[in-house]
Structure 1
């Protein structure tokens, strides 16, 4: 009977030696320990149970992230009033304290084109791409106001906020749309008009002369008639461009 058990054990070792290796290592460690600690140790647990627990935790976190994305997809402005946003950013804008990693002491003169290509996110993404709950929308006024200067009313330069060029383009479109819908205030540029723009003294905007004042062969307006140029001005121009004129 004992010989049959030994033959079965040898057969198992030949087929899959890696299966019994953790058990042998565990038994050898138990032999080296004292008797008290040996009795207090728990029974051997295969490593695949730990892997299943870690995988289940990762699946739960992924499900929570997907649920958060769906929750703020239709109403992205609710994220700025949530406890999660306040705990992460506080009263600061989303781009506060952001610094892009770069080689050397001189930062790049412009931000990257995009942070997300396909399903891959680059290292050290911009303040908008790093948080999937920050969604640019023309109704998300509180988010748009974080990127508008209160002094000039213009968007901050991307080198100051660190936003990639793709998200900066979306910001420009969202701000213009919000201003068209009246969600964001904007200032009309001041234009100083001259009095000549409203004067009717010029013949082009003045009253049309009566037909009887026209002589035969005369044009209706004086600038339509033949104008003879000044001979002195013509001679001066010919002298200047003499090398380029054809003889």
Structure 2
């Protein structure tokens, strides 16, 4: 009887895991029944290992633990994610923003990106290339990520309308790039301006001593060219006619 019961329970476990709960109740009721003990024979008790258990729950717990461990590792060292197999399989050698297209109404994209992709617990549809991947963390030491948002020809940061990054993440990018440049992790260009020695000498009129004003007599003009200007006769006639009552 024990062998037949074991085979029946094992077959039912292979059919559907949904019958575990009734079987557990059946086991508890069987254990409560009075058992007749015969001398020389051991007491029969159904072992718990005969019943199937949810192995999928254990697998899910293990996967969640691995994901949490990876997230904590990338949080401390975000630059390791760009060298992992997961990143190479997902992005390859392309930047994280390549091929991204924001969802918008109509055929003309908006002139500016959205302010933020995550508001509390709500995530917008099709978030930006940084908000959609939790393993991408902006840090001034994550040089490989910051280089993807800098033009190799001009050294200027790409506009968010090209990369699709939201304004919140773009602000973090600019701060991280400036910090990396200050720490010497990223190069930056300084325009070369050639100065001549005359600009810094005291002989220049702008910084030299101001000459003393010339002595003027009655009837002389301050500017020499002012006495050489002769007004038109018709204009003088119009002015005299206008102010005739006030002229002596």
Normalised to the residue count of structure 1, the TM-score between the two structures is: 0.61
CA distance in 2, matches of 1:144, 1:138: 8
CA distance in 2, matches of 1:177, 1:47: 60
Gaps of 5+ in 2: 1-10, 22-53, 215-220, 227-248
- CA offsets, 1:84-112, max 9 Å, x none? 11111111111111111111111111110
CA distance in 1, matches of 2:175, 2:187: 15
> Residue 180 of structure 1 is aligned with which of 179, 182, 193?
182
CA distance in 2, matches of 1:223, 1:65: 82
Aligned CA RMSD, in angstroms, stands at 3.6
Residue aligning to 1:89: 91
1:30-179 equivalence runs, <5 A: 45-46=17-18, 59-179=61-181
Pair 1:41–1:79, CA change in 2 (3 A):
closer
SS class of match (2:18): coil
CA distance in 2, matches of 1:53, 1:156: 49
- CA offsets, 1:157-215, max 9 Å, x none? 11111100111111111111111111111110232435542232037755x8xxxxxxx
Considering only CA atoms, is the larger Rg found in Structure 1 or Structure 2? 2
Higher deviation after alignment, 184-193 or 73-82: 184-193
How many Å apart are 1:43 and its aligned residue?
5.4
CA distance in 2, matches of 1:144, 1:47: 54
How many Å apart are 1:154 and its aligned residue?
0.5
CA distance in 1, matches of 2:155, 2:109: 26
Normalised to the residue count of structure 2, the TM-score between the two structures is: 0.61
CA distance in 1, matches of 2:99, 2:206: 61
SS class of match (2:175): helix
SS class of match (1:46): helix
Residue aligning to 2:44: none
- CA offsets, 1:191-242, max 9 Å, x none? 2435542232037755x8xxxxxxxxxxxx54899xx96596xxxxxxxxxx
CA distance in 1, matches of 2:100, 2:175: 23
Residue aligning to 2:200: 198
